[in-house]
């Protein structure tokens, strides 16, 4: 079963993707042998994860965690105090984000909003 399919893919436009390759954010891909197996995208202005998708045949290999870490690290480098994202309630993605340390901020219409506060910097010795 495939989860977190876009409920209205027509709402996501080519321009949305283009913006996350340039002015609005940043995008990362995981590629093997010339095939993209997953991607993540982050939005600078809202400090959010805009997308994180992995080909279902390649889930469970750590690709998603690696792509998520890239996006979060980039948002921290842009000065974000916390990072947010939304995902469907009761999905495997919900468990994935909880296991990665994300906190539930709210739930609306079956969508959970998660936040990840920036870790405090360790004191210098």
40-53 per-position pLDDT tens digit:
999 999 999 998 98
| pLDDT the model gives residue 18 | 61
The pair phi, psi for residue 17, each rounded to 5°, is -65, -45
Q: Return the percent helix, strand and coil in the chain, to nearest 5.
A: 30, 35, 35
Q: 50 vs 7, 32, 68, 123, CA distance in Å?
A: 15, 23, 11, 32
Q: Give the C-alpha separation, 113 to 96, whole Å.
A: 14
- DSSP structure class, residue 4: S
Domain boundaries, the chain: 9-117
- Give the SS3 label for residue 80: coil
pTM: 0.81
What is the model's pLDDT at position 9? 47
pLDDT, tens digit (0-9, with 9 covering 90-100), for 69-80 = 999 999 999 999
Please say whether the structural domain 9-117 has been given the CATH code 3.40.109.10: no
Structural tokens at position 6: 């876009």
Residue 1: the pLDDT is 42
- Confidence class for position 15, pLDDT limits 50, 70, 90: low
Which residues are within 8 A (CB) of 55 and not within 5 positions of it... i.e. 6 or more apart? 37, 38
Distance CA 45, CA 53 (A): 21
Mean pLDDT check: name the lowest of 21-25, 35-39, 86-90. 21-25
């Amino acid at each position: 079963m495939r989860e977190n399919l876009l409920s209205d893919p027509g709402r996501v436009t080519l321009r949305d993707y283009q913006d996350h390759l340039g002015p609005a954010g940043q995008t990362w891909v995981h590629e093997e042998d010339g095939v993209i197996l997953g991607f993540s995208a982050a939005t600078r202005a809202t400090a959010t994860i805009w997308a994180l998708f992995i080909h279902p045949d390649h889930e469970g290999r750590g690709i998603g965690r690696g792509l998520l870490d890239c996006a979060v690290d980039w948002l921290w480098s842009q000065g974000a105090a916390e990072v947010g994202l939304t995902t469907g309630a009761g999905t495997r993605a919900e468990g994935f984000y909880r296991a990665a340390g994300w906190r539930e901020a709210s739930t609306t219409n079956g969508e959970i909003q998660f936040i990840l506060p920036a870790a405090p910097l360790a004191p210098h010795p």
